Structure 1
Amino acid sequence: MQLSNLTLDLRSYSAETDNHLHDYHQLVLPVSGQLDISVGNQSGRVDSDQAAIISAGKDHGFSGSEGNCFVVADIPDQLAPEFEQLPAFIHLSPALNQYVRFLHQQLQQYNSASTQRQMLLLLIQLLQEQCGHQLRLDRRIAVARNYLDQHFNTAIRQRQLAAVASLSPRQLGELFRKQLGMTPQQYLIEKRMQQAWQLLEQGHLSIQQVADAVGYSSLAAFSDRFRRHFDIPPSYFRRVGK
């Protein structure tokens, strides 16, 4: 499964038990009804405020109740490799529960692929925040990621970040990719683009001000990166707002 093929949609399941596996992670989040799932040797139910995390390559079977509906996210394993460390069934926090309701409303309407990508990335972020204590993230990589989160709007060199994490640049690159599924530079770009999307959607700043806020002094460079990342230009939000 390619990064470009991550999906987020609404699905319903038959009462007949089905069984399969796939090479990507899958999140099954409750909207209505129940879904009984077995993941490997674990069995549980997606119902009300409990969700299921099916890791890539895990054999699973499932059957749904009458009138069921779920928000389902298909996520390439390289985008969230830490999901393999999480339990198959998790209790949803109030913040995640509220976001699932928001996703349900949004998915009932037409949304572009770029919008769905952004919603899915935020879903992954919320899930990682809730389950952070269960992820066995190397302390040095956690330090590096936190530094990127706090300083994403400044120029950060690999050697500088490696020093913060007490690693060599080569060690940082290898360990960061192994644990988070992307290089530090890719993580930094993703962080900047997510922040830029939110600022553009709020509509309070000009495009140049948004570019400055996420670390781009060149408006042209920012616009080009944003277009390549989401398949729409930053100016899209200004046209929609009119």
Structure 2
Amino acid sequence: MQMNWILPTQIIMLPEEKDLHSHQYHQLVIGLKGQAEFEINDKSSIIYAGKVGVIPANYQHAFSSLFQAEVLVLNFPQFFGSNELANRVNDLFVDSGYYQLDAQIQNLIQLLVCEIQASRDDSLLNKACSDTIISLLHRHLIDENTDKIIKRLNVEVIDNFIAQNIGRKITIAQLSSTVFLGESQFYAIFKQELGITPHKYIVEKRLKFAKTLLETGQFTVGEIAQQTGFANQSAFSHAFMKHIGHSPSKHRQIHFIRN
């Protein structure tokens, strides 16, 4: 006996309070805006625009908004009749996981979301959108739990921008624009792929350059602080001590002793 498609496709703003629950149907959650913290059977991740959470039926899961999180939610029954759509649903929900959509399907989903928002009570349209998305996901999902993960950030472009502006103030907005991402999305992807915040990454680049200048012996500590983008010599010395473990002057002394 074939079970019909269930529950409407929904576009919702996630609450800030985390709610652990489960349900007897499969669920796809696709990030549209902002950021949200997700947990599916103890697997945690951050959902942002273009990121997908796959939640099989009866799996415990919870989510909470970190920054104005808006998501597209699609629900599917556990059992269909013997048809192609059923096979695709069953293949996708074998296990829970987090995935990244490629740019092509992200653009398509944005168009579908506009149609859904314009006709919220059109159940036929909702079902058509749901079926379209599930049919395309097999070719467009990038599994974050395999070696096939595709990095979304071009680190070389980011590094070049930092190097060219090392003596100036560098903002998240500037960095995100170099890779054509919004600030919140860039921040989340950056931290996920590089393991640190953009701010800490910039500081590390400044200090790496500062170490090179200190080892040449051509500039004073104050001049190096200015050339590497620190507000003043005090701020530079404080950051150097915190990250390197000794003062800039000590670093220069150590280098000269070794050479």
TM-score (norm 2): 0.47
Instruction: Provide the aligned length of Structure 1 versus Structure 2.
Output: 134
Distance 1:93 1:30, change over 3 A: same
Task: State how far apart, in whole Å, the 2-side matches of 1:93 and 1:82 are.
Answer: 19
Q: Quote the Cα distance in structure 1 between the aligned partners of 2:19 and 2:26.
A: 17
Q: Unaligned 5+ residue runs, structure 1?
A: 135-242
**Which amino acid is 1:114 matched to?**
L
CA distance, structure 2, for counterparts of residue 81 and residue 54 of structure 1:
12
Q: 2:163 matched to which residue of 1?
A: none
Deviation per residue, 1:149-197 (Å, 9 max, x gap): xxxxxxxxxxxxxxxxxxxxxxxxxxxxxxxxxxxxxxxxxxxxxxxxx
Mapping 1:68-83, distance limit 5 Å: 68-78=69-79, 79=86, 80-83=89-92
Give the structure 1 partner of residue 105 of structure 2: 96
Aligned pair 1:8/2:18, yes or no? Answer: no
- Residue 65 of structure 1 and its aligned partner are, at CA, apart by 2.4
Match of 1:124 in 2: 134
Tell me how far 1:107 sits from its aligned partner: 1.8
Q: Would you say the 8 A contact 2:100–2:143 is kept in 1?
A: no
Quote the offset at 1:70 in angstroms.
0.9
Pairwise CA distance, 1:133? 9.5
- Tell me the CA shift for residue 34 of structure 1: 1.1
1:11-57 deviation per Cα after TM superposition (whole angstroms, max 9, x unaligned): 11111111100111111111111111110021111112211111111
C-alpha RMSD of the superposition:
2.4
Matches within 5 A, 1:1-242: 2-78=3-79, 79=86, 80-111=89-120, 112-131=122-141
Q: 1:60-113, CA deviations, whole angstroms, 9 ceiling, x for partnerless residues?
A: 011112422111111112241222335510011112211221122112111521
Structure 2 gaps, min length 5: 80-85, 145-259
Larger radius of gyration: 2
Following the alignment from structure 2 to structure 1, what is the Cα–Cα distance between the partners of residues 37 and 43?
11
With over 3 angstroms needed to count, the CA separation of the structure-2 counterparts of 1:19 and 1:114, relative to structure 1, is: same
Structure 2 CA distance for aligned equivalents of residues 74 and 133 of structure 1: 20
What percent of counterpart residues are identical? 20
